[in-house]
Amino acid sequence: MSTDFFILRFFEPHCIVNHNPSSFMSQLDLLNIPQRPRRLRRTAAIRNLVQERTLTVNDLVYPLFVMPGTNGKEEVVSMPGSFRYTIDNAVRECQELWDLGIQCIDLFGIPEQKTEDGSESYNDKGIIQEAIRAIKAKVPDLCIMTDVALDPFTPFGHDGLVKDGIILNDETVEVLCKMSISHANAGADFVSPSDMMDGRIGAIRESLDDAGFSDVGILSYAAKYASSFYGPFRDALHSAPQFGDKSTYQMNAGNTDEAMKEIELDIMEGADIVMVKPGLAYLDIVYRTKERFDVPVAIYHVSGEYAMVKAAAAKGWIDEERVMMESLLCMKRAGGDMIFTYYAKEAAKRLR
């Protein structure tokens, strides 16, 4: 045994056993132990044994679009394989999801009518409210989350109320509270405010509690960026902004400190789960969030990300299934606890 080893072993034991990989590696280097990391990649069995992060069907949340009418199903042109369903067909779809092992959906609705005050959003007989009741009647154990924002409910396509071209904050929060109570009343398990108004998480938490819904959770879209990756979703919901963009309330793609502040505020105000959105291009935000806060983190693999994979696959330029599975796994590796994805069904089938 060399003197080097003796010194390392007995005088700096913390160096050899500590968890700092670079110093651990340099110790091995000093000891002249040849490194052969490929030993752990030699066979599939070994690779599986040492895999650090995995994707399971429990991690998947399926975003579901519902529209008025009966017996209808329309494919979203910019999202091949994704559909708007009438409530009856949405219920059938939920049964299928449940049978595939997917246990959670996020509901988005196209209302009968858009009004400047967004009042259809809290109509107890509105599209989301009726969809929740119908789904709960048939698939009672499916966890239902509901989108809380005004973009499909006003003619402006903005997430809040609009006056003279300005997106109003506090007035919007009042409507979001009514909407949340109405969803909870219909049976939602979680409300998911995706609007990015200031103070809405605290206000919604208080309203839910006051209305007797202290068991209804809040998944907050806490770090939501003003992103061009949302285009196909806005086609799906007919909700593209009719003027300007969303950069006075959604975040600037260049910022990360601001994301930490938004997330911290939402946790302090009562969010049970926080979301980072979009997905792949924002995994540094997910990583930083997970390092810093001990809460479940959701990632939204958004419509534009889905559309890009679909388009390239249609051209035969990429292997769709592998790109899909790799994208989802990378979101888990970065620290995501759950992933909202239009690929949930395909991934669930693949994971079986």
Task: By CB under 6 A, tell whether 146 contacts ligand PBG.
Answer: no
Task: By CB under 6 A, tell whether 121 contacts ligand PBG.
Answer: no
CA–CA distance, 350 with 332 (Å, rounded to integer): 16
Respond yes or no: is residue 290 known to be catalytic.
no
The least distance separating ligand PBG from the CB of residue 179, rounded to whole angstroms, comes to 12
Q: Are strands 297-301 and 338-341 parallel, antiparallel or unpaired?
A: parallel
262 labelled binding-site residue: yes
Which of 223, 303, 327, 343 lies at the binding interface for ligand PBG (CB under 6 A)? Answer: 303
Per CB under 6 A, contacts with ligand PBG among 323-342 are none
String of contacts with ligand PBG for each residue 224-243, x by CB under 6 A = ------x--xx---------
Nearest to ligand PBG of 27, 262 (CB atom): 262
Q: Which residues contact 266 (CB under 8 A, 6 or more apart)?
A: 201, 220, 222, 274
List the one residue out of 90, 157, 151, 82 whose CA is nearest residue 307: 82
Which of 120, 130, 151, 262 lies at the binding interface for ligand PBG (CB under 6 A)? Answer: 151
Respond yes or no: is residue 136 known to be catalytic.
no
SS (H, E, C) 284-321: HHHHHHHHHCCCCEEEEECHHHHHHHHHHHHCCCCCHH
Task: By CB under 6 A, tell whether 266 contacts ligand PBG.
Answer: no
Task: Point out which residues pair with 147 in neighbouring strands.
Answer: 192
Which of 149, 197, 339, 348 lies at the binding interface for ligand PBG (CB under 6 A)? Answer: 149
Task: By CB under 6 A, tell whether 59 contacts ligand PBG.
Answer: no
Catalytic residue among 114, 277, 310, 332: 277
Give the interface size with ligand PBG as a residue count (CB under 6 A). Answer: 12
Task: By CB under 6 A, tell whether 159 contacts ligand PBG.
Answer: yes
The least distance separating ligand PBG from the CB of residue 158, rounded to whole angstroms, comes to 9
Q: Are strands 190-193 and 338-341 parallel, antiparallel or unpaired?
A: unpaired
Task: By CB under 6 A, tell whether 93 contacts ligand PBG.
Answer: no
Which of 59, 120, 130, 147 lies at the binding interface for ligand PBG (CB under 6 A)? Answer: 147
Q: Which residues contact 351 (CB under 8 A, 6 or more apart)?
A: 55, 56, 57, 101
- Determine which helix (DSSP H) or strand (DSSP E) holds 62, and give its type and residue range: strand 60-67
Instruction: Name the binding residues.
Output: 262
Residue ranges for the known binding site for Mg(2+) are 262
Q: Catalytic residue positions?
A: 224, 277
* Residues forming the site for ligand PBG (CB under 6 A): 147, 149, 151, 159, 194-195, 230, 233-234, 246, 302-303
